[in-house]
Amino acid sequence: MANSSVVDFPKNFTKALNDPQLRHNLRSAMDTLGMRRRTLFSDPVSFEQLRATGDEIRQRALRQLPELLEKLEKKCTENGIQVHWAETPAEANQICLEIIQRHNAHRVIKGKSMVSEEMHLNHFLAEHDVEALETDLGEYIIQLDHETPSHIIVPAIHKNRDQIARLFHDKIPNTPYTEVVEELNAIARKVLREKFLAGEVGVSGVNFAVAETGTLCLVENEGNGRMCTTAPPVHIAVMGLEKVVERLDDVPPLLRLLTGSATGQLITTYFNMITSPRKAGEKDGPKEVHLVLLDNGRSKIWADPELRQTLKCIRCGACLNHCPVYTRLGGHAYGYVYPGPIGSILTPQIEGLVNAGAMATASTFCGACEEVCPVKIPITDILRRLRNESYQKVDTPHAVKGHGYKLSVIESLTWKGWALNNMMPWANALSAKLLGLLSAQLPRLPKVGLLKYWGQSRTLPKFAARSLHALAKEKGLRDE
């Protein structure tokens, strides 16, 4: 799932933080998205009701996940959709390639799909002489610039209009430079229209799959998703296996939560419900529809009741938009496909703590993500769990891969010492006194060890000559 094999988090973070243009682009984009969301969900009471419903729907679906997936497969098959199971991204890629090759196809048009990013599908197809063209405007922009999405909903959010104008001018032949949004849209539309016509296979993601009816739901704003799923003769939908819901009734509340949380829209311009390939007598639609269900570590996550909550996610991106860390880094610095709060809980579980455990440290536990999450994922509790398991070897069956990787004698001893000090009132009193004396001797504490890091932007506090314990005693406060 990594964009490169080893992710150098500190280096990435420093690079992002030193890019004022990026910081500016992100800030203004996040402000807009946050404001739109607030406007739509302006009534806290009804929002809480709606998200309680969303939470219930997702929990119910996950509780019966194996049964629902079986039912989904059965219903889809009855409807004429061919279902494939993939345990790993490599398997999923192979399945897609075989379908594409069976039709002697070389041109794939793609709607937006984070699971296809997780598979690195485009890269894989290119190695096999298949060109995959992104048709979502944001995805198209970053594909032109050989980048990966920096946001799960708005993939080119790190770029501003001028940068896109420059990119189009440089990369699309015979394109005059323009910063007019309508003209930029028209340029992209012209290129994409031609590609839609030439596309031999369409690939899309899935927002919700309804087990009851075997329906694949796809949410989008540009109509490119509909083109990808209807214009070519073959449609392949790729989906993480947690995206299933029980009933058709479950879709409206989730859709409302998804669009409202993501972009502050009451509903998107397009909402596609795909239930079968073209039927006899119908004039359009693909002749074949395939559904590829990807596991990639999800069943392991599912097995643990606490971690399972990660799978409630409907990929709305609201946690990114409200995250003070994401707002300053953007998605690329995280080095993996899923950035921000959801990425920081999901990625270490899939990739293991050794590779991605550091993502769990990039949080102040401010809780802004949880406050907006439309399905109430306890993001900070899961982050805390990942931190715990980073330091401890655990012998539960569902320990996160790589648990105990940070086991360090020094850090463990430090915390043991800290605990002892805070368990024994006399030790606590003594250390308070010593620190007070020390502080009185030194006008400023020396910047050594961790204090060095503190000191890079903040002066150090002073220890008081007399602690609150001492003052309270002097004042004669009693205890009972």
Partner 1 sequence: MPTRPQKVYYFGTCLIDLCYPQAGMAGIELLQREGVEVLFPQQQSCCGQPAYNSGFPEEARKVARQQLKAFPNDYPIVVPSGSCGGMLKHHYPKLFANQPEFAEAQRFSGQVMELTEFLVTVLEIQLEDRGQPIKVTWHSSCSALREMRVIDYSKSLLRQLRNVELVELRRERECCGFGGSFSVKQADLSSAMVSDKVADIEKTGASRLLSGDCGCLMHIGGALDYQKSLIPAQHIAEFVWERVHG
> Which 123-182 residues touch partner 1, going by CB under 8 A?
none
**Tokens (6 digits) for 7:** 């992710």
115 binds ligand SF4 (CB under 6 A): no
**Distance, CA of 307 to CA of 166 (rounded, Å):** 44
**Distance, CA of 213 to CA of 232 (rounded, Å):** 24
> Which 247-266 residues touch ligand SF4, going by CB under 6 A?
261
By CB atoms closer than 10 A (0-12, 13-18, 19+), residue 300 is middle
**Distance, CA of 245 to CA of 222 (rounded, Å):** 25
Least CB distance to partner 1 at residue 13 (A): 6
Q: Which does 313 bind (CB under 5 to 8 A by kind): ligand SF4, partner 1, none?
A: ligand SF4
Q: Is the Cβ of residue 240 or residue 348 nearer to partner 1 in the bound state?
A: 348
Choose the binding region for partner 1 from 92-100, 179-187, 242-250, 470-478 (rule: CB under 8 A).
470-478
479 binds partner 1 (CB under 8 A): yes
Total residues binding ligand SF4 (CB under 6 A): 15
208 within 8 A of 247, measured Cβ to Cβ: no
141 within 8 A of 167, measured Cβ to Cβ: yes
376 binds partner 1 (CB under 8 A): no
CA neighbor of 219 nearest in space, from 149, 314, 155: 314
**Distance, CA of 280 to CA of 52 (rounded, Å):** 42
Cα dihedral 56→58→64→70 (10° resolution)? 140
Among 278, 300, 384, 447, binds partner 1 (CB under 8 A): 384
Residue 462 sits at φ, ψ, to 5 deg, of: -105, 145
Q: Is the Cβ of residue 177 or residue 453 nearer to partner 1 in the bound state?
A: 453
Least CB distance to ligand SF4 at residue 156 (A): 18
Q: Which does 367 bind (CB under 5 to 8 A by kind): partner 1, ligand SF4, none?
A: partner 1
359 binds ligand SF4 (CB under 6 A): no
Among 264, 317, 330, 402, binds ligand SF4 (CB under 6 A): 317
> Which 260-299 residues touch ligand SF4, going by CB under 6 A?
261
416 binds partner 1 (CB under 8 A): yes
187 within 8 A of 130, measured Cβ to Cβ: no
Looking up tokens 């032949």, which residue turns up? 173
Least CB distance to ligand SF4 at residue 261 (A): 6
Choose the binding region for partner 1 from 86-94, 192-200, 281-289, 427-435 (rule: CB under 8 A).
427-435
Among 30, 373, 383, 400, binds ligand SF4 (CB under 6 A): 373
User: For residue 210, what are the β-bridge partners?
Assistant: 215, 245
Least CB distance to ligand SF4 at residue 474 (A): 50
Contacting residues for 186 by C-beta, under 8 A, at least 6 apart: none
**Distance, CA of 180 to CA of 141 (rounded, Å):** 16
315 binds ligand SF4 (CB under 6 A): yes
Residues 65, 69, 74: CA angle, nearest 5 degrees: 150
Choose the binding region for partner 1 from 61-69, 108-116, 119-127, 408-416 (rule: CB under 8 A).
408-416
318 binds ligand SF4 (CB under 6 A): yes
Looking up tokens 């290129």, which residue turns up? 191
218 binds ligand SF4 (CB under 6 A): no
By CB atoms closer than 10 A (0-12, 13-18, 19+), residue 464 is middle
381 binds partner 1 (CB under 8 A): yes
Residues written for the chain = 480
DSSP annotation of 55 reads H
Q: Which residues make up the interface to ligand SF4 (CB under 6 A)?
A: 261, 313-319, 341-342, 372-375, 377
Contacts with partner 1 by CB under 8 A lie at 10, 13-14, 17, 324-325, 328-329, 361-368, 370-371, 381, 384, 387-392, 406, 412, 415-416, 418-419, 421-423, 425, 428, 432, 435-436, 450-451, 453-454, 456-464, 466-473, 475, 477-480
